[in-house]
Amino acid sequence: MIRDITIGQYYPAESPIHRLDPRVKIVCTLLFLISLFIQNSLLGYVIATLFLGCVIHFSKVPVKYIAKGLKPIVILLLFTVVMNLLLTRGGETLVHFGIITITENGLRTSVFMAIRLIYLVAGSSIMTFTTTPNGLTDGLEKLLHPLNRLNVPVHEVAMIMSIALRFIPILLEETDKIMKAQMARGADFESGNIIQRAKAMIPILVPLFISAFRRANDLAMAMEARCYHGGEGRTKMKPLRYKGRDKMAYIFTLIYIVVIFMVGRFVPFKLWVF
Amino acid sequence: MEMIHSEKLVYEYDKRDEEGNVIGTNRAIDGVDIDVAPGSFVAVLGHNGSGKSTLAKHMNAILVPTGGTIWVDGKDTKDPAELWNVRQTAGMVFQNPDNQIIGTVVEEDVGFGPENLGVPTDEIWKRVEDSLRSVGMLEYRKASPNKLSGGQKQRVAIAGVIAMEPKCIVLDEPTAMLDPNGRREVIQAVEKLREEKNVTVILITHYMEEVIDADQVFVMDDGHIVMHGTPREIFSRVDELKVYRMDVPQVTMLAEELRKRGLDLPRGILRREELVEALCRLR
Ligand SMILES: Nc1ncnc2c1ncn2[C@@H]1O[C@H](COP(=O)(O)OP(=O)(O)OP(=O)(O)O)[C@@H](O)[C@H]1O
Ligand SMILES: [Mg+2]
């Protein structure tokens, strides 16, 4: 069950999106995330959906796979939707039943909030699915390179991130193993109240942390053995160079952003068809 | 010049109490003299805790001796100016395949070493392809290491070391966590490397079958080198090996038992064919 978490994992495929420069993907993902928040109209969401749909289609990542990545946020999603539904006031009252009041505004906000959240996760997972963690960190490193002058250890941070991403699946698998081992010894993770359940997690976390530290130690040694000594004097196997298609992608995203911005600005909020 | 040469090598780990204060030392290596000729295949055997890994880590300057000296291709590992040279000369493959793969794609992992050495991009690609081919993993170059079997992961780790073009490769129980199939894959890959690239191989192992092709065998016990010779010499001293809690290959064991029962077999039989031949000659 725990292996279902797919956020942050690379999905190997040959696609135009996979081939894009990681910097393009990082910047465009950011722009897309921003675009979700600068407008709030039906038309805007239609455009965002088209954009995201296009990207997903070209990326060759199966929609099912992306949907799987949404699983961990289901609870957050439900919570947001319910809260917005019940607490937002304004507009026509649609349902009134005891203490529950659902208004038109509430419905709209909760639906849009849900869409935003889903697109947020889907958009960023498209980035991680189509970019190897090494690519991502290379991209980040290069984008953030100017911060080096402010004594921010950009290379180190990038390296830490890429290693964290590499070890997510391994640690998840390990958690699964430890859980099964503890369950075989009669541990019970399912029953009891929240505090009891949290206490039941301790026998999982302690061995997990111990093994994570051991792994970190081993890995540090393996890296040193392979002459790793920070970013200085290091060359790149896959150096980042913008190509024609990267410029195209930037232009495409820019057009999208401008359109969305215009829609947010000039199309009346009330384009809400029921 | 010897590939690896050590004189009175000593290493002491600090013993610490609960608070992390040093309360004493634990001598893991105690006066080891070792000589490894270039291009040779050397095996190191020893019971758990006998100091094999500690010795291996000295060949790559991960540990620096607390006493004595070790030279790798003529370079003193204590010399900080030679640190990266030493590490490039002697590559190291560790036991746990998961904890030594840094990249999330096979080829990126193999490229990690050359990147650190500052090798130009085109050359990195060439080396990556070449080393993946020589361990038979070229078709997996775009795969994620997490999806590989243990034996395949170890072969990727070996390719990662080969891509740094070392003169010598030290393998610390590379097959300990593998099934028999994975073990065979890894050992075959190492053999092929020896033939093709003429690298010096130092193999630390618990499996006696992996040792029989070695040029030299060292047996360690409690930080000392207690036996040293060709596999045939070592495995003909079955009783002595038992003292150091070591096994011998099954065939050797069988021949030894038969010899004790009065059959006129030579000592130090290593392979099944040899035993068959010797038995046939008896009639
Ligand atoms: N990091 C460490 N800190 C303190 N003592 C250590 C450390 N690593 C090893 N030792 C001690 O040094 C001695 C030799 O250990 P080493 O790991 O070299 O043995 P080994 O022959 O590789 O054993 P194994 O077959 O189990 O891998 C042991 O007594 C061990 O307890
Ligand atoms: Mg060891």
Q: Is residue B35 scored above 70 in pLDDT?
A: yes
> B131-190: per-residue pLDDT in tens?
999 999 999 998 888 889 999 999 999 999 999 999 999 999 999 888 888 899 899 999
Nearest CA in chain A to B111: A237
Chain A to chain B Cβ contacts (< 8 Å): 99
Torsion of CA A166, A172, A173, A174, to 10 degrees: 100
User: What type of residue is A133?
Assistant: P
Q: Which of A136, A113, A162, A154 is nearest to A27 (CA)?
A: A136
Q: Which of A32, A31, A112 is nearest to A77 (CA)?
A: A112
Mean pLDDT of A96-119: 85
Domain range spanning residue A108?
Answer: 2-131+241-271
- In order of B157, B165, B210, the CA distances from B174 in angstroms are 10, 19, 11
Mean pLDDT of A71-87: 87
Instruction: Give me the pLDDT at residue B87, please.
Output: 93
Nearest CA in chain B to A171: B98
How large a percentage of chain B has pLDDT more than 70?
A: 100
Q: Which of A162, A226, A236 sits opposite B113 (nearest CB)?
A: A226
Instruction: Give me the pLDDT at residue B138, please.
Output: 93
Residue A206 within any structural domain of the chain: no
Q: Is residue A28 scored above 90 in pLDDT?
A: yes
Chain A residues in contact with B105 by the CB 8 A cut-off are 10, 12, 132, 134
Q: Which helix (H) or strand (E) holds A96?
A: strand A93-97
Classify B268 in phi/psi space as left (phi over 0), alpha (psi -120 to 50) or beta.
left
Distance CA B75, CA B69 (A): 10
Mean pLDDT of A242-270: 85
Mean pLDDT of B197-210: 90
Interchain contact, B100 vs A238, CB within 8 Å: no
Q: What is the DSSP string of B177-246?
A: TS-HHHHHHHHHHHHHHHHHH--EEEEE-S-GGGTTT-SEEEEEETTEEEEEE-HHHHHT-HHHHHHTT-
Chain B residues in contact with A218 by the CB 8 A cut-off are 94, 96, 99-100
Instruction: Give me the pLDDT at residue A149, please.
Output: 87
Nearest CA in chain B to A169: B146
Alpha helices in chain A (DSSP H): 16-19, 22-37, 42-59, 63-70, 74-87, 104-130, 133-143, 154-184, 194-225, 244-266
Q: Is residue B241 scored above 50 in pLDDT?
A: yes
Q: Does A15 touch chain B (CB under 8 A)?
A: no
Q: What is the fold, at CATH topology level, of the domain defined by B4-231?
A: Rossmann fold (3.40.50)
Given the structure tokens 């100017």, which residue do they identify?
A146
Q: Is residue B283 scored above 80 in pLDDT?
A: no
Q: Which helix (H) or strand (E) holds B25?
A: strand B22-36
Q: Is A14 exposed, middle or buried (0-12, 13-18, 19+ CB in 10 A)?
A: exposed
Q: pLDDT category, A274, cuts 50, 70, 90?
A: very low
Q: Which of B120, B128, B161 sits opposite A235 (nearest CB)?
A: B120
C-beta of residue B93 within 8 angstroms of C-beta of residue B177 = no
Q: Which of A115, A4, A121, A140 is nearest to A56 (CA)?
A: A121
Q: Does A233 touch chain B (CB under 8 A)?
A: yes
Q: What is the DSSP string of A183-239?
A: HHTT--SSSS-HHHHHHHHHHHHHHHHHHHHHHHHHHHHHHHHTT---STT---SS-
Quote the DSSP letter at residue A38. Answer: S
Count CA atoms closer than 13 A to A163's CA, side-chain side: 21
- Beta-carbon contacts of A130 under 8 Å, excluding residues fewer than 6 positions away, are A10, A11, A13, A15, A17, A18, A20, A25, A59, A61
Chain B residues in contact with A134 by the CB 8 A cut-off are 103-105, 108
Residue A159 within any structural domain of the chain: no
Q: Is residue B92 scored above 60 in pLDDT?
A: yes
Chain B interface test: which of A18, A227, A240 (most B C-beta within 10 Å): A227
C-beta of residue A103 within 8 angstroms of C-beta of residue A88 = yes
List chain B domain ranges.
4-231
Residue A81 within any structural domain of the chain: yes
Residue A201 within any structural domain of the chain: no
Chain A residues in contact with B148 by the CB 8 A cut-off are none
The three-state secondary structure class of B118 is coil
Query: What token pair was written down for A241?
Result: 């160079």
Q: Is the CB of B146 under 6 A from ligand 1?
A: no
Domain count, chain A: 1
Q: Which of A48-52, A132-136, B57-61, B246-250 has the lowest mean pLDDT?
A: A132-136
Instruction: Give me the pLDDT at residue A7, please.
Output: 55
Q: Is the CB of B103 under 6 A from ligand 1?
A: no
Nearest CA to ligand 1 atom 3: B13
Nearest CA in chain A to B105: A132
CB atoms within 10 A of CB B163: 30
Chain B residues in contact with A234 by the CB 8 A cut-off are 115-116, 118
Q: Does B58 touch chain A (CB under 8 A)?
A: no
ipTM above 0.90, yes or no: no
Q: Does B89 touch chain A (CB under 8 A)?
A: no
Interchain contact, B94 vs A218, CB within 8 Å: yes
Residue A258 within any structural domain of the chain: yes
Query: B61 to chain A nearest CA, in Å?
Result: 8
Q: Is residue B41 scored above 90 in pLDDT?
A: yes
Interchain contact, A10 vs B116, CB within 8 Å: no
CB atoms within 10 A of CB B245: 11
Interchain contact, A235 vs B118, CB within 8 Å: yes
Q: Which of A9-13, A108-112, B92-96 has the highest mean pLDDT?
A: B92-96
Q: Which of A67-81, A154-168, B38-52 has the highest mean pLDDT?
A: B38-52
CA A28 to chain centroid, in Å, comes to: 14
Q: Which of B50, B92, B204, B220 to mutate to test the pocket of ligand 1 (most atoms within 8 A of CB)?
A: B50
Q: Which residues are paired to A10 by β-bridges?
A: none
